[in-house]
Chains A and B, each alone.
Chain A
Amino acid sequence: MKLTLRIWRQAGPAEPGRMVAYEVPDANPDMSFLELLDVLNERLTLEGDDPVTFDHDCREGICGACGVVINGQAHGPRERTTTCQLHMREFSDGDVIDVEPWRSVAFGVVKDLMVDRSGLDRIIRAGGYISVNTGSAPEAHATPVPKPIADTAFDNATCIGCGACVAACPNGAAMLFASAKVTHLNSLPQGAPERTERVLNIVEAMDAEGFGGCTNTGECTVACPKGIPMDSIATLNREYLRASLGRK
Chain B
Amino acid sequence: MTFYKLGDDIADTCAPDVPIEQRWDKRRFDAKLVNPANRRRHSVIIVGTGLAGGAAGATLAEQGYNVIQFCYQDSPRRAHSIAAQGGINAAKNYRNDGDSVYRLFYDTVKGGDFRARESNVYRLAQTSTQIIDQCVAQGVPFAREYSGLLDTRSFGGVQVARTFYARGQTGQQLLIGAYQALSRQIDAGNVEMHERTEMLDLIVVDGRARGIVARDLVTGQISTYLADAVVLATGGYGNVFYLSTNAKNSNTSAIWRAHRRGAYFGNPCYTQIHPTCIPRSGDYQSKLTLMSESLRNDGRIWVPKNAGDTRSPDQIPEAERDYYLERIYPGFGNLVPRDIASRAAKNQCDLGRGVGPGGLGVFLDFADAIRRLGEDKVREKYGNLFEMYDRITGEDPYKVPMRIYPAVHYTMGGLWVDYDLQSTIPGCFVVGEANFSDHGANRLGASALMQGLADGYFVLPPMLGNYIASNKFDKVTEAHPDVVETVNEATGRLTKLLSVNGERTADSFHRELGEIMWDECGMARSEDGLRKALGRLPELREEFWRSVKVPGNGNQVNQSLERANRVSDFLELGELMCVDALHREESCGGHFRVESQTPDGEARRDDDRFAYAAAWEFNGTGEQPTLHRENLTFDYVHLAQRNYA
Contact B282 A60 (CB under 8 A): no
**CA A158 – CA B85 in complex, angstroms?**
12
Partner of A153, one of B59, B139, B181, B503: B139
Q: Is B263 an interface residue (CB 8 A)?
A: no
Between A and B, 26 residue pairs with Cβ closer than 8 Å are A32-B286, A34-B286, A35-B284, A35-B285, A45-B551, A46-B503, A46-B505, A51-B560, A57-B73, A58-B247, A60-B289, A60-B290, A60-B388, A63-B82, A65-B73, A121-B77, A128-B183, A132-B134, A132-B181, A134-B461, A135-B457, A144-B144, A144-B148, A151-B141, A154-B141, A184-B139
Contact B559 A51 (CB under 8 A): yes
Q: Is A208 an interface residue (CB 8 A)?
A: no
Q: Which of chain B's residues has its CB closest to A130's CB?
A: B139
Partner of B139, one of A53, A62, A140, A190: A190
Q: Which 9 A-B pairs have the closest CB atoms?
A: A144-B148, A137-B137, A129-B180, A154-B141, A125-B187, A153-B141, A137-B133, A134-B59, A140-B136
Q: Which of chain A's residues has its CB closest to B169's CB?
A: A158
Q: Is B480 an interface residue (CB 8 A)?
A: no
> In the complex, which residues 10-36 of chain A have their Cβ closer than 8 Å to any Cβ of chain B?
11-12, 28, 30-32, 34-35
Q: State the majority secondary structure of interface residues on A.
A: loop
> In the complex, which residues 114-157 of chain A have their Cβ closer than 8 Å to any Cβ of chain B?
114, 116-118, 120-121, 124-126, 128-141, 143-147, 150-151, 153-154, 157
Q: Mark B495-510, 1 if CB is under 8 A from A, else 0.
A: 0000000010101100
Q: Is B78 an interface residue (CB 8 A)?
A: yes
Contact A57 B218 (CB under 8 A): no
* In the complex, number of A-B residue pairs with CB atoms less than 8 Å apart: 217
Q: Is B55 an interface residue (CB 8 A)?
A: yes
Q: Which residues of B contact A51 (CB under 8 A)?
A: 551, 559-560
Q: Is A207 an interface residue (CB 8 A)?
A: no
Q: Mark B273-284, 1 if CB is under 8 A from A, else 0.
A: 000000001101
Distance in Å: Cβ of B88 to nearest Cβ of chain A: 12
**CA A32 – CA B391 in complex, angstroms?**
10
Q: Which residues of B contact A204 (CB under 8 A)?
A: none
Binds B, one of A81-89, A165-173, A211-219: A81-89
Q: Pick from A129, A151, A188 the residue with the most CB of B within 10 Å.
A: A129
Q: Which residues of B contact A65 (CB under 8 A)?
A: 73-74, 78
Q: Which of chain A's residues has its CB closest to B145's CB?
A: A147
**CA A133 – CA B64 in complex, angstroms?**
12
Q: Pick from B138, B285, B394, B461 the residue with the most CB of A within 10 Å.
A: B138
Contact A138 B180 (CB under 8 A): no
Contact B286 A111 (CB under 8 A): no
Q: Pick from B73, B74, B249 the residue with the most CB of A within 10 Å.
A: B74
Contact A62 B557 (CB under 8 A): no
Distance in Å: Cβ of A31 to nearest Cβ of chain B: 5
Q: Which residues of A contact B183 (CB under 8 A)?
A: 121, 124-125, 128-129
Distance in Å: Cβ of B396 to nearest Cβ of chain A: 14
Q: Which residues of A contact B552 (CB under 8 A)?
A: 50
Q: Mark A44-66, 1 if CB is under 8 A from B, else 0.
A: 11101111010111111111110
Distance in Å: Cβ of B353 to nearest Cβ of chain A: 24
Q: Which of chain A's residues has its CB closest to B289's CB?
A: A60
Contact A114 B557 (CB under 8 A): yes
Contact B133 A139 (CB under 8 A): yes
Q: Which residues of A contact B248 (CB under 8 A)?
A: 56-59
Contacts A147-B145, A154-B173 given; does A87 touch B394 at CB 8 Å: yes
Q: Pick from A34, A118, A134 the residue with the most CB of B within 10 Å.
A: A134
Q: Which residues of B contact A128 (CB under 8 A)?
A: 180, 183
Contact A57 B62 (CB under 8 A): no
Q: Is B482 an interface residue (CB 8 A)?
A: no
Partner of B557, one of A49, A111, A124: A111
Q: Is B458 an interface residue (CB 8 A)?
A: yes
**CA A15 – CA B505 in complex, angstroms?**
27
Distance in Å: Cβ of A166 to nearest Cβ of chain B: 14
Q: Is A241 an interface residue (CB 8 A)?
A: no
**CA A215 – CA B166 in complex, angstroms?**
33
Q: Is B531 an interface residue (CB 8 A)?
A: no
Contact A138 B137 (CB under 8 A): yes
Report the count of interface residues on A (CB-CB < 8 A): 80
Q: Is A210 an interface residue (CB 8 A)?
A: no
Contacts A42-B507, A190-B138 given; does A157 touch B176 at CB 8 Å: yes
Q: Which residues of B contact A132 (CB under 8 A)?
A: 134, 137-138, 181
Q: Which of chain B's residues has its CB closest to A43's CB?
A: B505
Q: Is B172 an interface residue (CB 8 A)?
A: yes
Distance in Å: Cβ of A3 to nearest Cβ of chain B: 13
Partner of B284, one of A28, A59, A111, A153: A28
**CA A146 – CA B133 in complex, angstroms?**
17
**CA A121 – CA B184 in complex, angstroms?**
11
Q: Is B258 an interface residue (CB 8 A)?
A: no
Q: Which residues of A contact B167 (CB under 8 A)?
A: 154
Distance in Å: Cβ of B421 to nearest Cβ of chain A: 16
**CA A185 – CA B281 in complex, angstroms?**
41
Contact A158 B172 (CB under 8 A): yes
Q: Which residues of B contact A130 (CB under 8 A)?
A: 137-139, 180
> In the complex, which residues 111-162 of chain B have their Cβ closer than 8 Å to any Cβ of chain A?
130, 132-134, 136-150
Q: Pick from B79, B167, B176, B195 the residue with the most CB of A within 10 Å.
A: B176
Q: Is A39 an interface residue (CB 8 A)?
A: yes
Q: Which residues of A contact B551 (CB under 8 A)?
A: 44-45, 48-51
> In the complex, which residues 388-434 of chain B have their Cβ closer than 8 Å to any Cβ of chain A?
388, 391-392, 394
Q: Is A191 an interface residue (CB 8 A)?
A: yes
- Besides A32-B392, A60-B290, A121-B77, 11 more A-B contacts (Cβ < 8 Å) are A12-B556, A35-B285, A50-B551, A57-B249, A125-B186, A134-B59, A146-B148, A150-B148, A157-B176, A184-B139, A185-B139
Contact A134 B62 (CB under 8 A): yes
Distance in Å: Cβ of A43 to nearest Cβ of chain B: 10
Partner of B136, one of A49, A137, A185: A137
Distance in Å: Cβ of A141 to nearest Cβ of chain B: 6
Distance in Å: Cβ of B609 to nearest Cβ of chain A: 40
Q: Is B343 an interface residue (CB 8 A)?
A: no
Contact B139 A85 (CB under 8 A): no
Q: Is B628 an interface residue (CB 8 A)?
A: no
Q: Which residues of A contact B290 (CB under 8 A)?
A: 60
Q: Is B75 an interface residue (CB 8 A)?
A: yes
**CA A147 – CA B62 in complex, angstroms?**
32
Distance in Å: Cβ of A230 to nearest Cβ of chain B: 20
Contacts A63-B80, A85-B391 given; does A131 touch B139 at CB 8 Å: no
Q: Is A161 an interface residue (CB 8 A)?
A: yes
> In the complex, which residues 69-119 of chain B have their Cβ closer than 8 Å to any Cβ of chain A?
73-80, 82-83, 92, 94
Contact A126 B392 (CB under 8 A): no
Distance in Å: Cβ of B63 to nearest Cβ of chain A: 8
Distance in Å: Cβ of A180 to nearest Cβ of chain B: 11
Distance in Å: Cβ of A121 to nearest Cβ of chain B: 5
Distance in Å: Cβ of A59 to nearest Cβ of chain B: 5
**CA A128 – CA B177 in complex, angstroms?**
10
Q: Is B232 an interface residue (CB 8 A)?
A: no
Q: Mark B237-265, 1 if CB is under 8 A from A, else 0.
A: 00000000001110000000000000000
Q: Which residues of B contact A146 (CB under 8 A)?
A: 144, 148
Contact B139 A188 (CB under 8 A): yes
**CA A137 – CA B138 in complex, angstroms?**
8
Distance in Å: Cβ of A222 to nearest Cβ of chain B: 17
Q: Pick from A56, A60, A154, A158 the residue with the most CB of B within 10 Å.
A: A60
Contact B282 A117 (CB under 8 A): no
Q: Is A110 an interface residue (CB 8 A)?
A: yes
Contact A129 B181 (CB under 8 A): yes
Q: Which of chain B's residues has its CB closest to A137's CB?
A: B137
Partner of A111, one of B133, B145, B556: B556
**CA A191 – CA B156 in complex, angstroms?**
34
> In the complex, which residues 170-195 of chain B have their Cβ closer than 8 Å to any Cβ of chain A?
172-173, 176, 179-181, 183-184, 186-187, 195
Distance in Å: Cβ of B390 to nearest Cβ of chain A: 10
